[in-house]
Amino acid sequence: MRQSQLFTNTVKELPKDETSYNAQALIRAGFVDKVAAGVYSYLPLGKRVLDKICNIIREEINNIGGQEILMTALVPKENWQTSGRWDNFDVLFRLSGSDQKEYALGATHEEVVAPLVQKFIFSYKDLPFSVYQIQTKFRNEKRAKAGLLRGREFLMKDLYSFHTDQADLDNYYEKVIVAYQRIYQRLGLGKFTYLTYASGGSFSRYSHEFQTVAAAGEDLIYVCDKCQVAINKEIIIEQNVCPLCNNPDLTEKKAIEVGNIFKLGTKFTEPFGVKYKNSAGASEPAVMGCFGIGPSRILGTLVEINHDNQGIIWPESVAPFKVHLLSLNEPEAADKIYKELVEKGIEVLYDDRELMAGEKFANADLIGCPYRVLVSRKTLASNSAEVKKRTEDSSELVLLSKLANKLI
C-alpha cells in the first residue's frame, strides 16, 4: 500500500487519560483510536494485524475440529436468569429494548451456546463436537487503564466443546492445550508464555491459564524453570512447589493472561437441559468445556513485549506489512521496486510521501514492519537498496536484481 494513500499518520497528541504503553504506541503509530476508556477502534494498520492474529487462531482451532459460528451480542435476560448470572455477574452491561425486553451484552457466551446446541443434541452419537466464534465482547469493567489488555469492548475467540463424559472432555482439553501452544508459537509469544496452573473449581484439581511474562502484566505468576510451567497466585498460597516436579524454587514474574481454559462440567448443560440419550437409552447432561483467547489483548501483549524506544517491533507472522519501503526522492526507481515486490506477493507499505529522511526513518521504526528497505541516490549508485531488519542495528546493501528473493 502507498503510504500517501493511507489515511492515518503519526499521532502527536495522545489522549490525556491514556497511560498504558501498548495503547500509547498503537495510537501514536495509527493502529488504533481511543473512543472511550477501554474502547478502541482499529484503523487500517491495526485491522491488518488483528486479522492476522485471528487467522492464526482460526486455523489452529479448525485443526482441532472447531466449527465456526457467530453468536449475538444481545443476550436476553431470561438466558442469564437460567444460569443464575443475571444478578451476580457484575461486569454485565444491561439494557432494555423498546418492547421492554431486557438484555445484557454478551460478556461470555455460555448462556447463548448452551440453548443453541440443546436443539441439536439428542443421542450420544451427536457428541463430541466443538463450536467457536471470534466476536466482540462487552464488559463493564470498573477500571480500564491497561489499554488493549483490559477493554470494555474487545475481541474474543471463544470455543465451547460438548462431550458424553468427563474422560472425553479431559482428552479434548489436552488437545486444546497443544493447539494453544502452537498459536502462541506462531504469534511469536511462545518463549514468553507459560501454561499456568490455577484453581480448578469443582471438576478438576487444577484449571489452566496461559500467561505471557511482561512488565505491564496485571497478574503475578511463579515459574518453574525446570518444567517451563507456572502456578498463579491463588495456587502459590495453597502450595509453594511446582505441581509437576515439586521444585520449591519458583520465580515470581509479572504476566498477562493470554488464554484461559476451563472444564465446565455440567454447570451450564444442566440448567439449559443440554441432554443426550446414552447407549443404554438413559438421559444424561452433556459435559462441557470452554476455551478463550482474546485477539485484541494479544495485540496489546505483542506491543508490550516487542518494542524499543523507537516503537513497535512486529513478529513477521502478524506484521501489518512485511516490508516498509522508503523512497528518498527517488520515486521512479522506488515505484518500480514497489511493483516488483507486490507482484511477487510480498506485503509492502511504500512510503512515497514527500518527507524528510529523518521523519521517514522515525515513522518506519514506530510502525515496526520487520524489514525496512531504503531507496536513495546513494543506494541506486550501486544498483542497490539498503535492507535493515527492525530487530537489528546493522543494514546491508542488496542488489536490486536480488532484492525480491531476499525478502520473500
- Using CB under 8 A, list all residues that contact its own copies: 5-9, 11, 30, 33, 35-37, 39-44, 47, 50, 65, 67-76, 93-95, 97-99, 101, 103, 105, 112, 116-117, 119-120, 126, 129, 131, 136, 138, 140-142, 152-153
> Nearer Cβ to its own copies, position 137 or 322?
137
What are the φ/ψ torsions at residue 252 (nearest 5 degrees)? -75, 130
In whole angstroms, how close is the CB of 105 to its own copies at the nearest point?
Answer: 8
> Nearer Cβ to its own copies, position 135 or 181?
135
Rounded Cα–Cα distance for residues 292 and 110 (Å): 12
> Nearer Cβ to its own copies, position 97 or 273?
97
In whole angstroms, how close is the CB of 165 to its own copies at the nearest point?
Answer: 18
Rounded Cα–Cα distance for residues 134 and 109 (Å): 11
In whole angstroms, how close is the CB of 112 to its own copies at the nearest point?
Answer: 6
In whole angstroms, how close is the CB of 106 to its own copies at the nearest point?
Answer: 10
> Nearer Cβ to its own copies, position 329 or 391?
329
Q: C-alpha cell of 294?
A: 482474546
Q: C-alpha cell of 94?
A: 444491561
In whole angstroms, how close is the CB of 254 to its own copies at the nearest point?
Answer: 25
Strand partners for 271: none
Rounded Cα–Cα distance for residues 11 and 355 (Å): 16
> Nearer Cβ to its own copies, position 118 or 185?
118
> Nearer Cβ to its own copies, position 11 or 400?
11
Rounded Cα–Cα distance for residues 261 and 206 (Å): 10
Rounded Cα–Cα distance for residues 286 and 266 (Å): 7
Instruction: Collect contacts of 22-25 with beta carbons under 8 A, ≥24 apart.
Output: 22/146, 22/147, 22/148, 22/149, 22/216, 22/299, 22/300, 22/301, 22/303, 22/304, 23/147, 23/148, 23/300, 24/147, 25/303, 25/307, 25/311, 25/312, 25/366
> Nearer Cβ to its own copies, position 197 or 268?
268
DSSP H helical ranges for 84-165:
110-118
In whole angstroms, how close is the CB of 113 to its own copies at the nearest point?
Answer: 9
In whole angstroms, how close is the CB of 148 to its own copies at the nearest point?
Answer: 13
The total number of residues written for the chain in this structure: 408
